[in-house]
Structure 1
């Protein structure tokens, strides 16, 4: 089936190209250029020698304005999962293999502030949809500039390129009693701006025991000190609650997919999570050739988690900073850019586990202080030669440490593990064969030490014997634009060899623990194409775009033995061999618009032995709406839509290597939404 659909989509694209090749320049409408900041390039995406996915505002607005998940899942090599409303996992080239929940093995920045804590975990669910204006996903090892993480890095920006004073308010209602209320106020001027935002979201969820509530308040300000200096502040407070229904067996999944695991209600299993983050960024143009950007931040998270096994309380204060210098020099047509800097983070965490007595903490089991820190020194040189040759070379030195003191055990000797001398180099070379065709190749080494929650998992057994992952990624690709910039095509292929891969396992009580899985060999091809369908200059349709993305992942254990069991050459669980996404976006001059999306996933292995496989599935959805100006200074977007339109049963966010065969977390069936956004714009 997937091959037939792929042929149909390809035929549609080719026929569209043939039909439009006779269009005149007067009727041609080019795709808008995309500028990315990854690797300090600040260049068009089609000119950057790396595998980078860009998700802009137009892609985010194709769906229901409550989650980043559907927009991220339209891009190749990236798959976001939701085990229950509010519980997200982010898979970048297989990185969820070591993540029972949350985001690990991927370094995340929000407005240039490290959003990943020094323990290696990222509470991406503390950001609301409205805290994001654009996302850049760097796939593969990015440690030459962004520190630990063999999966990659994610750069999130909350501010639009063009800032205007005004007020935005919006409300959405959807299936399963979904409510989403948003308000944003922008005051000041271009040189001294303030943005205040608040989002409130609630939902009963598709399954039993999946209620959720999220409140996020932000303040962002930017002050231009003089022509050379600016000061920016980003402050975020998030209060999140969601119930955790637990995984289902195949029998439970087939008989009652909306059910929760037995005792979920009795034990009141849930996550209560509060996070406060404040960051201050100073940019300084020291000379015409030299500039600096420095950020300092502090953050504090409180988590309470009654589970099926115990009751956990975590207190996680941490702080850190990052500084980056850029120096530019032109010499006889050759441009040299040198970047260098440092990043450091430290956390003083405390984790207590208790017996769970009907959702309340009972007898103390363990009480651990966790001191974690990590730092990175990095440098990078980028050369732009005449003849459209580009060479980028970077390297970082990284060191991290974790010390655990079990306060609940008298005279306990602190346990410490240091991961040192981790070098992460990257070399990339690109050449424009013709003006609109870029060929590139790169090699990069990555590393990723165990996170705090992997060294101290839900078994409460201290696992400082875990080793850091290390791997080398070889990659080559093309980026090209054709037909007066109306067609953009990107294809990349990679081979990634990972040593000491950290893999999730579960004991008989379904508690998480982690092991080093020897080596893996991960091969893949990622491709995407966008085609701007061109109407007449005075036609009813003002804009139409057809797009498709495909991911092929041949991920295998190369050498992995657990006791007498040999998993070598088995497929890595949690990764579909093929995923395919396609869509059509149409807008009209009166303001009517439609966004249609189709998604396909191959079957997915759910355990290391590949004896349990989740079925393939296809999803269809769409959004229609009307964007119009109600009067001077007031614009409206009235919309409605549907997800999983044909009510397909599938599991999103499977529990890998689950005990008692509880692998399945049923995703929502057919669901619908509708809402309105109002924008009040005041004069500058």
Structure 2
């Protein structure tokens, strides 16, 4: 009998050893979390009302996911454990960012870094990144026409009549910015951006050219389940958007594929958009030491350009196109393919290498009022970095070293435009743009609380313009411009005041050579004397992240020399010149507060937030002929911008997102004689989201520009003939549905 009892207890103990029991709760409130998706190996369960879940086995790697919380992955032996999930909108000490190739909590970062998450994107209509980015202090994306973006980080869009310049953009660790300095951000659908990090201010020590900063966009698959999903959205002005996606586990990794089609007629005459994007990504852990990542992006974009209006045309009918735009079919057609391969290798627990190589092709066609441009391009490049965790004199030391190289070759032809059809060739060039740099960075913990960072990059770049045809009889042949190698340093300190707050200070340098579009203008002239912008940024910041309250305060001063500005000649051609120097003083403040977090109540989240941007930018030394603009406000930059947010989520799944944005008046010319009036935008989205077994369902509706403001989201600067204004849509409504099935 005694032996039988002993055997019984032995069998019971074996069963207990093979059991993992988990209780999942909210880190802030301590309350249990229901419906958390918990995955161990290939088994997926959901927590009950008590936050409980159990798995048979031991030493299992288990992941946890719940909307509104940071995802978590840990390995558990057998036994009972309590797991706390962190709300993803709170607690800066738990938010990790990878800016400056340094994966650290935001409180330990010695730079102005802001994250834009899926939650930020889903607060709006999800047809563009504009609204999500514009709710962040110091960041502004303009949209002169649908799908025509201009990114301004701390006023960096001064020299961008169209496209994205002066900002370095990466997509899944691939340099998405071309080697000539331009970025076709409109080739990406919002579904191709899962999350984003924005580095504000010069960042040349790690990212190369771009005084405005750097933007890292991520959508690489980290497949945690097999899932099929689809979205459909419709709205005013003929808007429709359809997405189909699939995630499939393959061994320890997996693949994700998606297709998106978005169309709209546009608010203005001749402002339609038609875009299709296909993305295929793979994530394959080869071993404990190696991981392989692949990406394929195919984008087909067509959009019409209505053009800017003068004040009289704006008052008469803001929906009209600029005269000539329709007849000449002013528009852009662009097809692009990007293929990348990434490889992570861990030499040891302390040393690793991450390398990404890419190829891309681009077919670009742009009939415009004055001409017709065709370009066929091919490019390739790579980025590699080595990271080593070591010690120096007993203090923790992280060393980062790497390189980046890009090369782009383009056949470019400019024709006359006869009623929207390419006429005789005016000039044709074979273009080459290249840029590369080496970067090194050391991060030394001088004390447990004080982190010292020293970064440095050595940069080179240049252009080759081989003129094949010049119908005016001008010279043909090869002309080159090689920019002098430039060394760009950065030094920073971060001091941890306590577990919840920190201060930092930094001095960083940046530079930005002119793009080929600025050197080689539409009328055929070559401005090879245009100099690169060079800037030095001085910055201090304070961060506080504790439980329900986040606060960030930043002040900076950027001294920019050889500032590139735009002007328009009598034929309407945009030209460029160096304009002496500018003084750019700024303040940024962000506050997030959870009035209520109650995982067990009817109202689960009641969050408020605000972001203030103060930009006091002036021309320090700028004369043009007999005009001296020194002391004038910097063109295209609002001195004040304030965004306020309210987010409400309920236990039944009903949610409400409210956003109010105030933008101060904006000078539209260097003389400061023309301004856009201040405006206020209100956006609202509400919906219902629910998990029903293996199905996820969301139904939503919203309104943009609720107050029906008359405004421009992106103006033409220093425009000839007073054509400054690009009217944005009036009040407009949208609605849609999302369905997902886990199998």
TM-score range for the pair, normalised by the shorter chain length: over 0.9
Query: Is this contact kept in 2: 1:172–1:674, CA < 8 A?
Result: yes
Question: Given the alignment, which residue of 73, 86, 92 partners 2:147?
Answer: 86
Equivalent residue number for residue 620 of structure 1: 682
Worse overlay, 213-222 or 429-438: 429-438
Unaligned runs of 5+ in 1: 1-22
Give the corresponding residue for 1:7.
Answer: none
In 1, Cα distance between equivalents of 2:107 and 2:496: 10
Structure 1 residue 65, shift from structure 2 partner: 1.5
Does residue 512 of the first structure (1) align with residue 574 of the second (2)?
yes
Deviation sequence 1:187-224 (CA, Å, 0-9, x none): 12362311111000000000111011000001101111
Match of 1:212 among 256, 269, 273: 273
- Residues 494 and 505 in structure 2, CA contact (< 8 A), matched pair in contact too: yes
Normalised TM-score (structure 1)? 0.94
**Corresponding position of 1:467:** 531
1:540 aligns with 2:540: no
Superposition pairs of residues 667-678 of structure 1, within 5 angstroms: 667-678=728-739
Task: Tell me which of 492, 497, 504 is aligned to 1:428.
Answer: 492
Report if aligned partners of 1:169, 1:678 keep a CA contact under 8 Å in 2: yes
Residue 239 of structure 1: aligned partner: 300
How far does the alpha carbon of each residue in 1:470-494 deviate from its partner, in whole angstroms, 9 at most, with x for none? 0100000101123xx2100001000
Per-residue deviation, 1:263 = 1.6
The aligned counterpart of 1:565 is: 627
SS of the aligned residue for 2:158 comes to helix
- Which whole-Å CA distance do the structure 2 matches of 1:169 and 1:70 have between them? 23
Q: Which residue of 1 aligns with 2:116?
A: 55
- Choose the corresponding residue for 2:544, options 480, 485, 504: 480
Shift of 1:163: 3.1
Q: Whole-Å Cα distance in 2 between the matches of residues 426 and 102 of structure 1?
A: 28
Verify the 8 A CA contact 1:394 1:425 in the aligned structure 2: yes
Q: Provide the rounded CA distance (Å) in 1 between the counterparts of 2:335 and 2:564.
A: 28
1:256 aligns with 2:320: no
Distance in 1, Cα, partners of 2:717 & 2:599: 53
Taking the aligned partners of 1:596 and 1:472, their CA distance within structure 2 comes to: 37
Cα distance in 2 between the residues matched to 1:306 and 1:230:
44
Q: 1:537 to 1:288 in 2, by over 3 A?
A: closer
What is the DSSP-based 3-state SS (H/G/I as helix, E as strand, rest coil) of the residue aligned with 2:186?
Answer: helix
Q: How does 1:20-99 map to 2 (within 5 A)?
A: 31=90, 33-99=94-160
Take 2:521 and 2:585, find their aligned partners in 1: how far apart are those partners? 30
Is the CA contact 2:221–2:283 (under 8 Å) kept in the aligned structure 1? no
Look up the SS of the partner of 1:408 in the other structure: strand
Number of residue pairs aligned between Structure 1 and Structure 2 = 657
TM-score (norm 2): 0.87
Q: 2: CA distance between counterparts of 1:579 and 1:160?
A: 35
Relative distance call for 1:35 and 1:162 in structure 2 (3 A) is: farther
Offset at residue 254 of structure 1 (A): 1.4
Give yes or no for the alignment of 1:279 onto 2:333: no
Q: SS where residue 39 of structure 1 aligns?
A: helix
Aligned counterpart in structure 2 of residue 554 of structure 1, from 616, 627, 639: 616
Shift of residue 331, structure 1, vs aligned partner: 5.4
For residues 386 and 160 of structure 1, do their structure 2 counterparts lie closer, same or farther at Cα, with a shift above 3 Å needed? farther
Alignment of 1:601-612 (within 5 A): 601-612=663-674
- Counterpart residue number, 2:252: 191
Deviation, structure 1 residue 405: 1.1
Answer yes or no: is the 8 Å Cα contact 2:222–2:283 preserved in 1: no
For 2:560, the equivalent position in structure 1 comes to: 498
Partner secondary structure for residue 300 of structure 2: strand
Q: What is the CA-CA distance between 1:420 and the residue it aligns to?
A: 2.1
Distance 2:523 2:543 in 1: 47
For 1:322-337, what aligned pairs fall within 5 Å after superposition? 322-330=383-391, 334-337=395-398
Structure 1 residue 522 corresponds to structure 2 residue 619: no
In structure 2, the partner of 1:143 is: 204
2:478 maps to which of 414, 426, 431: 414
**Preserved CA contact (<8 Å) 1:459 1:513:** no
The separation in 1 between residues aligned to 2:451 and 2:737, in whole angstroms, is 46
Aligned-partner Cα distance in 2 for 1:298–1:510:
35
Partner of residue 4, structure 1: none
Report the Cα distance in structure 2 between the residues aligned to 1:291 and 1:279, rounded to whole angstroms: 20
Asked if structure 1 preserves the Cα contact closer than 8 Å seen for 2:29 and 2:598, the reply is no
Structure-1 residue corresponding to 2:18: none
For 2:416 and 2:267, locate their aligned partners in 1 and report how far apart those are by CA, in whole Å: 29
- Conservation of the 8 A alpha-carbon contact between 2:222 and 2:254: no
Query: What stretches of structure 1 move > 6 A for 4+ residues in a row?
Result: 23-29
Q: Indicate the larger mover: 207-216 or 532-541.
A: 532-541
Give the Å deviation of 1:332.
Answer: 6.8
1:141-194 deviations in Å (ceiling 9; x for gaps): 111001111110000001366632211100000110100000111112362311
Tell me which structure has the larger Cα radius of gyration: 2
Gaps of 5+ in 2: 1-27, 33-83
Deviates more, 1:134-143 or 1:430-439: 430-439
Aligned equivalents of 2:666, 2:523: Cα separation in 1: 27
Other-structure match for 2:72:
none
- 1:319 has 2:380 as partner: yes
Q: What is the alpha-carbon distance in structure 2 between the residues aligned to residue 325 and residue 535 of structure 1?
A: 41
Q: What is the CA–CA distance in structure 2 between the aligned matches of 1:273 and 1:476, rounded to whole Å? A: 42
Q: Give the match's secondary structure for 2:354.
A: strand
Within 5 Å, which residues of 2 pair with 1:398-409? 398-409=459-470
- Alpha carbons of structure 1 residues 536 and 147: separation in structure 2 relative to 1, 3 Å: closer
User: 431, 438, 448: which is aligned to 2:502?
Assistant: 438
Match of 2:517 among 439, 453, 456: 453
Match of 2:329 in 1: 268
Of structures 1 and 2, the one scoring higher in RCO (CA 8 A, sep 6+) is 1
Structure 2 residue aligned with 1:111: 172
Equivalent residue of 1:264, what SS? coil
> Which residue of 710, 715, 724 maps to 1:649?
710
* C-alpha distance in structure 1 between counterparts of 2:392 and 2:543, whole Å: 27
Match of 1:581 in 2: 643
Report Cα offsets for 1:596-648 as digits up to 9, x if no partner.
Answer: 0000000000011111100000011110000012x321111100000001110
The structure-2 alpha-carbon separation of the partners of 1:647 and 1:190, relative to structure 1 and needing over 3 Å to count, comes to: farther
Secondary structure of residue in 1 paired with 2:327: helix
